[in-house]
Amino acid sequence: MSAAHPAPVALWQQLQQVAVVLDAVRSGRSLTPALDAVEGRLRPGVQALSFHVLRWLGRAEALRDQLARRPPPPLPDALLCSALALAWRTEDAPYEPFTLVDQAVEAAKRHPAMRAQASFVNACLRRFLRERDGLMARIAHNAVAVWNHPRWWVERLKRDHPAHWQDILRGNNTPGAMVLRVNLRRTSQANYLAELARVGLGAAALNAPPGFPASGIVLKNACAVHDLPGFADGWVSVQDHAAQMAAPLLLAGLTAPAAGRLRVLDACAAPGGKTAHLLELADADLLALDVDAVRCQRIGHNLARLGLRAEVRCADAAEPDTWWDGRPFDAVLLDAPCTASGIVRRHPDVRWLRRPTDVDQLAATQARLLNRLWPLVRPGGRLLYATCSVFKAEGDQQVETFVAHNTDARWCPSPGHLRPASGRSGGVFPDNAQGEHDGFYYALLDKLDTR
């Protein structure tokens, strides 16, 4: 007897779950666990629709305000805004707008918590289809609707990047490509590109910083990691190209002491992508710290898959008295906790989860980590400060303050603020020509020998 085929997934079923996911994000829950709670057979479609909704939520909420005197209860409101986000622009809509409206109403009718609002959802969406142009004109000057970010976020970017704030916001609303890092201890960029071609996956090579072999690859179309040749055998990892700059920046020109191998600290290491990259490029005694025990397990799993070894310890990097053995490090990577304002194109929920006060609170954490870890760097050694943020308070302003108070710190030529999905030219570490990366910040600090 042949196995039964799974029942096809109806769009209304997916829209119900998209509404649940959006309601969770609005309640302060991150997108990943919200999607993990979705039934497996529905998850791929719900994930794709949820990403689209979160990228255009500002416009959807502005349209909802035009259509309703007051929002309905949270869950039917999430359904209404999801449908508006998916249908507002026909050329980008994943389904025909009339189909989306019909299935959104069906989703409301079939959900016990939304059934009473089904007629309201239907009326709002049918009016949207009739009056689309007029409604769009009414919100044309609403900054949240135009840029699909909270107003405070837009205003901060205007202050921080007066010449580029619009480019950053546009980049945030563009899905990021899937980028790979080849494990150079197992294969080469050229050989892996050939493997991808063999299995029919289109890809292109990405540049490497001067002095380092190229290992970055961007896929034409994303795929499941287990469809990548040799993934289980540690040939390759998924890592954004901006994040791939960390290891070369920290290691460039750094030589092992006469006594033995480089001693390296990855202070906020989980999930271990940069830890692994450091070990792929250099023979080093590496200590990887993270304050979260579950995330430390992920570091261990990633290193094991890649055939790499490091000491992994669950500890607070800002409390070295609890974990440091007193021996200074040649190099420290501080990829500090931050707002994640640079990776919004991959994590579209971040913009809606963050609050204005988060920036100053996280900047204080970053300053504390810098001040606690700097004494652990040997004279002549270095520290690379990194954040996946485009906010100056977590980048240039943070480092300027640190250098002003630490006369033994020399700020070396560094990429500084990288804008999402934008190309850069010149500099010691020029950006890849394709401009395929997230927003990031890097500052390399050499420790002067003042003895």
| DSSP one-letter string for 223-260 | --GGGSTTTTTTSEEE--TTGGGHHHHHHTT----TTS
Percent of the chain with pLDDT over 70: 94
Tell me how far the alpha carbon of residue 318 is from its chain's centroid.
24
Residue with tokens 């916001």: 169
Q: Are residues 140 and 186 in the same domain?
A: no
DSSP 436: -
In a domain, 183, yes or no: yes
Q: Are residues 77 and 22 in the same domain?
A: yes
Please write the tens of the pLDDT for every residue from 311-350: 999 999 999 999 999 999 999 999 999 999 999 999 999 9
Query: Which of 438, 436, 442 is CA-nearest to residue 218?
Result: 436
Q: Which of 148, 171, 205 is the last residue of a domain?
A: 148
Q: Are residues 189 and 60 in the same domain?
A: no
Q: Please, what is the Cα angle at 125 between 123 and 131, to 5 degrees? A: 100
The pLDDT value recorded for residue 258 is 65
Q: Are residues 28 and 124 in the same domain?
A: yes
Please write the tens of the pLDDT for every residue from 385-436: 999 999 999 999 999 999 999 999 999 999 999 988 633 333 333 333 346 7
> What does the block give as tokens for 373?
């870890």
* 3-state SS, residue 383: strand
Q: Are residues 234 and 381 in the same domain?
A: no
CB-facing half-sphere around the CA of 372: CA atoms within 13 A: 18
Q: How would residue 119 be classed by pLDDT, with cut points 50, 70 and 90?
A: very high
Q: CATH number, domain at 234? A: 3.30.70.1170
In a domain, 294, yes or no: yes
Residue type, 318: A
For residues 241 and 178, give the distance between their C-alpha atoms in angstroms, rounded to a whole number.
Answer: 10
Tell me how far the alpha carbon of residue 210 is from its chain's centroid.
25
Contacts of 16 (CB under 8 A, 6+ apart): 79, 107, 110, 111, 114
Query: Which of 324, 337, 238, 331 is CA-nearest to residue 292?
Result: 337
Contact 45, 89 (CB under 8 A): no
In a domain, 174, yes or no: no
Helices (H) and strands (E) in the chain, counts: 17, 12
The pLDDT value recorded for residue 80 is 98
Residue 181 to residues 215, 244, 407: CA-CA distances in angstroms?
5, 7, 37
Residues of the domain holding 184: 179-238
Please check the confidence at residue 69 and state whether its pLDDT lies above 50.
Answer: yes
Q: CATH number, domain at 314? A: 3.40.50.150
> What does the block give as tokens for 257?
């002491």
For residues 83 and 118, give the distance between their C-alpha atoms in angstroms, rounded to a whole number.
Answer: 13
Please check the confidence at residue 192 and state whether its pLDDT lies above 50.
Answer: yes
Contact 251, 331 (CB under 8 A): yes
In a domain, 163, yes or no: no
Query: Which of 132, 122, 117 is CA-nearest to residue 60?
Result: 132
CB-facing half-sphere around the CA of 441: CA atoms within 13 A: 26
In a domain, 169, yes or no: no
The pLDDT value recorded for residue 204 is 93
Please write the tens of the pLDDT for every residue from 224-245: 999 999 999 999 999 999 999 9
Q: How would residue 3 be classed by pLDDT, with cut points 50, 70 and 90?
A: very low
**Per-residue DSSP letters for 153-174?**
HHHHHHHH-TTTHHHHHHHHTS
Q: CATH number, domain at 135? A: 1.10.940.10
* Full-model pTM: 0.93
Active site residues: 388
Q: What is the mean pLDDT of the chain?
A: 93
- Work out the average pLDDT over 357-384: 98
Contact 176, 242 (CB under 8 A): no
User: What are all long-range contacts of 115-122, with beta carbons under 8 Å and residues at least 24 apart?
Assistant: 117/72, 117/73, 117/76, 120/68, 120/72, 120/76, 121/72, 121/76, 121/79, 121/80, 121/83
In a domain, 170, yes or no: no
Q: Are residues 133 and 198 in the same domain?
A: no
Contact 336, 359 (CB under 8 A): no
In a domain, 5, yes or no: no
Domain count for the chain, please give it. 3
The pLDDT value recorded for residue 302 is 97
> What does the block give as tokens for 313?
């310890």
Please check the confidence at residue 60 and state whether its pLDDT lies above 60.
Answer: yes
* Three-state SS letters, 305-338: HHCCCCEEEECCCCCHHHCCCCCCEEEEEEECCC
If one compares 124 and 429, the residue with the highest pLDDT of the two is 124
Query: Which of 302, 310, 300 is CA-nearest to residue 266?
Result: 310
The pLDDT value recorded for residue 92 is 83
If one compares 429 and 299, the residue with the highest pLDDT of the two is 299
Q: Are residues 124 and 213 in the same domain?
A: no
Q: Are residues 375 and 389 in the same domain?
A: yes
Please check the confidence at residue 2 and state whether its pLDDT lies above 70.
Answer: no
Residue type, 405: H
Please check the confidence at residue 158 and state whether its pLDDT lies above 80.
Answer: yes
The pLDDT value recorded for residue 209 is 80
Q: Are residues 309 and 439 in the same domain?
A: yes
Please write the tens of the pLDDT for every residue from 243-297: 999 999 999 988 877 667 899 999 999 999 999 999 999 999 999 999 999 999 9
In a domain, 158, yes or no: no
Q: Are residues 319 and 432 in the same domain?
A: yes
What pairs with residue 217 in β-bridges? 180, 205
Q: Are residues 348 and 431 in the same domain?
A: yes
Q: Are residues 224 and 258 in the same domain?
A: no
Residue with tokens 């622009």: 89
